[in-house]
Amino acid sequence: MKTSMPLCATALAAALAAAAFGVSAQVAAPAGPASLSITRLQTIYLRCADVATRSPLDAVDFAFCAAVGDALRDRAFDGSFERLIAWWHGARTPDAAPAEATAGDAAGGRTDTASLQSLFSE
């Protein structure tokens, strides 16, 4: 069964909000998302959203993506979650996610749990 995009957006929003209220994790970069440019935060946020639509995030990646989302919301959208989601709707490539599969996806999960955090160093 195909999931509707509003449902995916709502699920992503709920996941990111939940992370902000209680999941903590060590982030690979010492300065965290605050040290990244807005363009880099946008790139990472889109990657997080793409990965999350294919498989559940583990707790570490979940917290990482939430921190990136919070930083992006605060720095690029003046704290407005609604503006962040509106930007995401225009910036995402919804048809690309199902067509692309990574090695971990074929087995029902990602093989590298630190894959999203490695985006700090790219």
| pLDDT tens-place string over residues 65-117 | 999 999 999 999 999 999 999 999 999 876 544 444 444 443 344 444 456 77
CA-CA distance, 55 to 91, in Å (whole number)? 20
- Structurally, how many domains does the chain consist of? 1
Do residues 116 and 61 make contact, with C-beta atoms less than 8 angstroms apart? Answer: yes
Q: Which residues contact 34 (CB under 8 A, 6 or more apart)?
A: 71
Would you say residue 102 lies in a domain?
no
Would you say residue 101 lies in a domain?
no
Would you say residue 116 lies in a domain?
yes
Does the pTM surpass 0.85? The reply is: no
Separation of CA 90 from chain center: 15
Would you say residue 44 lies in a domain?
yes
Would you say residue 103 lies in a domain?
no
Residue span of the structural domain in which 47 resides:
5-93+109-121
For every residue of the chain, DSSP letters joined together read -PPPHHHHHHHHHHHHHHHHTT-----SSTTGGGGS-HHHHHHHHHHHHHHHHHSPPPHHHHHHHHHHHHHHHHHHSTT-HHHHHHHHHHH--TTHHHH---HHHHTTS-S-TTTTGGGGG-
Residue 108, by phi and psi: left (phi above 0), alpha (psi -120 to 50) or beta? left
Confidence of residue 14 (pLDDT cuts 50, 70, 90): low
Would you say residue 100 lies in a domain?
no
Percent of the chain clearing pLDDT 70 (strictly above): 53
Q: Which two tokens stand for residue 72?
A: 């992006």
Mean pLDDT of 17-35: 53
CA-CA distance, 21 to 39, in Å (whole number)? 25
